[in-house]
Structure 1
Amino acid sequence: MKHFDETATRAPLAFERLVPALRSAFAAEAQVPPRHVHTIETAGADGAACKGTVLIMPAWSDAGFLGIKTINIFPGNGAHGLPGLHATYVLYDARTGVPLAMMDGNEITARRTAAASALGASFLARKDARRLLVLGTGRIARMLPAAHASVRPIDEVWVWNHRPEGAEALAAQWRAEGWNARAAIDLEAAVRGHADIVSCATLAAAPLVRGDWLAPGSHLDLIGSFTPAMRETDEHCFAGARTFVDTPEALQKSGDLLDAMAAGTLRAQDIQGTLAELCRGERTGRSSDEERTVFKAVGSALEDLTAATLVWHAAASPA
């Protein structure tokens, strides 16, 4: 079995390559069973309760690959200077079950999540969208400018975080990488004045973005929350917007959607389509520059399998 560390996993996953690969994967057929979700509760060294979530996400395709990702999410890790997410990915031969490779699951998760965000924006953000506001400073958030710039002419990036020093540090990092980036101190002002695309990549349990802040023509991208207890928006974000999801599973997993449906600002039948339907041309994305759009993703094992397959093929056929 081959082993791919973080660097080797990252190398073949440039967004200019990964986003089109995801588009092809969603348009094709694959087997993606529902994820297994387990809650972990333990006592920390100081006696305080530590709570996390374990996800087990399998997928396989006719191309002959089976992949299983195990992902551990512990939102309290930030207080200890640790990432909130840790993952491993194992790729198998789908015809024999033979293990082929162990890959860096953190890198696969972050890059495929950012790529799916950009794929959604390729259908739903205005063609001239250039100002991106990112909420969050974690591994996924850090990749969003590059991901979105692969599908839209992004030339201005803002970042907000509940810890202002984190936003300042990430903005400085982005500037060093060549981005026109600034930290946003006032979230409401940033949403109202600086955002063609608002991309939320947090582990928030309470709403951050309010519906009355969002301008006509804006695109709201929600890729952080993935359980009914998590939410990044209030229920008014969905009122008057055309809402799309990555997979139907979002209607059961997303606290943002569940809250909006409970409040009556969104009905299940109001969902305009999934990524697969958009990629197959079965549903229409943005239809005017004035309409407001929302994309809610909870993640799909198909995305992980697509990324892992790219890594495998790149190793088998080096340039």
Structure 2
Amino acid sequence: MRIISSNEIDSALAYPELIETLLRAYRSRIVVPQAANFSIERPDETAGLLKALPAWSNFAAQGHTDRGYIGCGITLELPQSDDAPDLGSSQSGSALYLLLSGTTGHPVALLDGVRLAVWRRCALHALATRYLAREDTSRLLVIGTDPMLPSLLAAYAAVRDIRSVLLTAGAETVLDRLQTHPKLKRITFGTTDDMAGAVAGADMICCASRPPVGLPGAAFSPGVHIDVLDPDTRLEEDTLSQVRIFVEDRNEAGALADADIAADLRELAKGEKAGRRFYGQMTHFHPGGSSGLADLAVAGHVFLRS
């Protein structure tokens, strides 16, 4: 069995190829059982959560076991008590991905699940952007910050010709990382405190954290695409009423479970539902909480290339 580190994952992956791998995965019949969650009781209100996310190739449908994988992602979240040593966060987390041969059942790789998740999340948002953002999208507004923002912008740039990125006030700390990223050299970066003007000029808006109350919906440009990173974030009702809503998995819609969902990624990939229908249509993508299918696809992609 090979142990694949975060650096090896980075070396093996590039967004154009990874996005195509995810597209094929969503068109496939990969088996994805429901995730299993286990609460770990600990003192001082620091109960942990252990989650297992299995998935495997549909061996019955393909009629043989000559190829394919069985995989399971394992994540652990342990909130820290007030008197715990300061580790720079109120919560510690870890993740591993176990990949097994579908032919023999033997483990073939153990991957860094945290780094795998960054590539998977960014590629999924880029795949959605390919279906939902206007083809001439070039101006991106980012509201808030997220540690994976440099990777996310590189993924966006793999599907749309992003030339200008505006960050909201307070995001100056990430500017250096973005401006020196080798995949983002063609992009001009700036910051703004004029939210209404920035929204009006954006072809696409990325909500990297919870959007501010009163996101000026009336000022949206025609055909804007709004991408939300946090599964627990729900846009205001005035904004939701103006957009066509898409999700990662309609069975895992989370905060948008009661919304009028147009399609999920599997339906888009299979051509069962349409994405953007016309130039001026406003679209919105919301991620889900389950990642079994995508994690299996990304892990297999890394294993074959590392």
Q: Same fold (TM over 0.5)?
A: yes
Once the two structures are TM-superposed, the CA of residue 198 in structure 1 deviates from its matched residue by 1.6
Once the two structures are TM-superposed, the CA of residue 9 in structure 1 deviates from its matched residue by 1.3
| Equivalent position of 2:292 in the other structure | 301
Match status 1:245 vs 2:247? yes
CA distance in 1, matches of 2:78, 2:173: 22
| Equivalent position of 1:139 in the other structure | 147
Bigger mean CA offset, 86-95 vs 104-113 = 86-95
Whether the 8 Å contact between 1:25 and 1:302 is mirrored in structure 2 is yes
Once the two structures are TM-superposed, the CA of residue 96 in structure 1 deviates from its matched residue by 3.3
Match status 1:55 vs 2:51? yes
Q: Specify the SS of the correspondent of 2:293.
A: helix
Once the two structures are TM-superposed, the CA of residue 223 in structure 1 deviates from its matched residue by 2.8
| Equivalent position of 2:215 in the other structure | 210
CA distance in 1, matches of 2:197, 2:292: 33
CA distance in 2, matches of 1:13, 1:282: 29
Once the two structures are TM-superposed, the CA of residue 116 in structure 1 deviates from its matched residue by 0.6
Once the two structures are TM-superposed, the CA of residue 36 in structure 1 deviates from its matched residue by 2.3
CA distance in 2, matches of 1:250, 1:238: 18
Paired residues, number: 287
The amino acid that maps onto 2:236 is: D
Unaligned stretches of 5+ residues in structure 2 = 59-66
The amino acid that maps onto 2:167 is: V
Q: How does 1:101-250 map to 2 (within 5 A)?
A: 101-160=109-168, 164=170, 167-177=171-181, 178=185, 179-185=187-193, 188-189=195-196, 192-202=199-209, 204=210, 210=215, 212=217, 214-225=220-231, 230-250=232-252
| Equivalent position of 2:62 in the other structure | none
Go from structure 1 to structure 2 and tell me whether the alpha carbon gap of 1:3 and 1:37 turns closer, same or farther (over 3 Å shift).
same
The amino acid that maps onto 2:243 is: A
Aligned pair partner of 2:305 in 298, 301, 314: 314
Go from structure 1 to structure 2 and tell me whether the alpha carbon gap of 1:232 and 1:53 turns closer, same or farther (over 3 Å shift).
farther
Unaligned stretches of 5+ residues in structure 1 = none
Bigger Cα Rg: 2
Q: Specify the SS of the correspondent of 2:235.
A: coil
Once the two structures are TM-superposed, the CA of residue 279 in structure 1 deviates from its matched residue by 1.1
Once the two structures are TM-superposed, the CA of residue 138 in structure 1 deviates from its matched residue by 3.0
Q: Specify the SS of the correspondent of 1:139.
A: coil
Once the two structures are TM-superposed, the CA of residue 296 in structure 1 deviates from its matched residue by 1.3
Once the two structures are TM-superposed, the CA of residue 50 in structure 1 deviates from its matched residue by 4.2
CA distance in 2, matches of 1:123, 1:38: 35
CA distance in 1, matches of 2:261, 2:189: 33
CA distance in 2, matches of 1:171, 1:85: 26
Whether the 8 Å contact between 2:116 and 2:295 is mirrored in structure 1 is yes
The amino acid that maps onto 2:283 is: T
Aligned pair partner of 1:292 in 261, 270, 282: 282
CA distance in 2, matches of 1:18, 1:294: 22
The amino acid that maps onto 2:292 is: A
TM-score, with normalisation over the residues of structure 1? 0.80
Go from structure 1 to structure 2 and tell me whether the alpha carbon gap of 1:40 and 1:115 turns closer, same or farther (over 3 Å shift).
same
Once the two structures are TM-superposed, the CA of residue 208 in structure 1 deviates from its matched residue by 5.6
Bigger mean CA offset, 90-99 vs 26-35 = 90-99
CA distance in 2, matches of 1:155, 1:199: 15
Identical pairs, percent: 30
CA distance in 2, matches of 1:10, 1:38: 30
| Equivalent position of 2:61 in the other structure | none
CA distance in 1, matches of 2:22, 2:102: 20
